[in-house]
A and B are shown apart, each in its own frame.
Chain A
Amino acid sequence: ILNVEQSPQSLHVQEGDSTNFTCSFPSSNFYALHWYRWETAKSPEALFVMTLNGDEKKKGRISATLNTKEGYSYLYIKGSQPEDSATYLCALAGSTLGRLYFGRGTQLTVWP
């Protein structure tokens, strides 16, 4: 079992603020790290898949980094907008086929 921790549990920011949150894990024994965005009443939406140490991904104002040696990944949102309000989930793909190990998520609220 891969234990995935996310922090903070929730975050409230003003529109225009930049923010970041953390996904940490105890082992480098995994195949990939996934970030998802999950808006209320919608399907979780895939943001990034990261597979290499030092990997960095970017999609518009959102970017993510991965450090497998120290066991963490950061998700950054630059200039947060109200539409960024969602729960952001981190998940590891280990050796068990088809199984992702999810953290409990960071719930982000962006106030206009």
Chain B
Amino acid sequence: KAGVTQTPRYLIKTRGQQVTLSCSPISGHRSVSWYQQTPGQGLQFLFEYFSETQRNKGNFPGRFSGRQFSNSRSEMNVSTLELGDSALYLCASSLTQQADTQYFGPGTRLTVL
């Protein structure tokens, strides 16, 4: 079974631009969660989608948004990029229950100049 894939793997943008990251979950998984990791910080939860609906959102500004398509693929968008948005963005897919394992992709490394 193919794992979680994320594209692109690396991205360089400048302040003020916007960016879209993509995540393809494991086949059959309907939940996709997004996390941000910055140096010195643990993984911070951005949001989670299930069956095309955002069920939960972390404490991030409205510049961070996402969506999920009918095939469970998910995208996240960051508008008006700031230097502090430079981070590794990970997505994870799982079945449906809270105790289910989340399977992670390799991440997208975003650098904002």
Contact = CB atoms under 8 A, between A and B. Distances in A.
Interface of A: 4, 31-32, 34, 36, 41-46, 49, 51, 89, 91, 93-105
Interface size bracket, B side: 20 to 34
A100 B101 CA distance: 10
B4 to A, nearest CB: 7
Contacts of A49: 99-101
Q: Is the interface of A mostly helix, strand, loop or mixed?
A: loop
B56 A99 contact: yes
B66 to A, nearest CB: 12
B62 to A, nearest CB: 19
Contact of A43 (B41, B45, B49, B104): B104
Given A44-B104, A49-B101, A98 B94 contact: yes
A98 B101 CA distance: 10
Interface string B41-53: 1110100111000
5 contacts: A43-B104, A45-B104, A93-B99, A97-B55, A100-B102
A100 B48 CA distance: 10
B54 to A, nearest CB: 10
A95 B58 CA distance: 13
B50 A51 contact: no
Nearest to B47: A98
B33 A102 contact: no
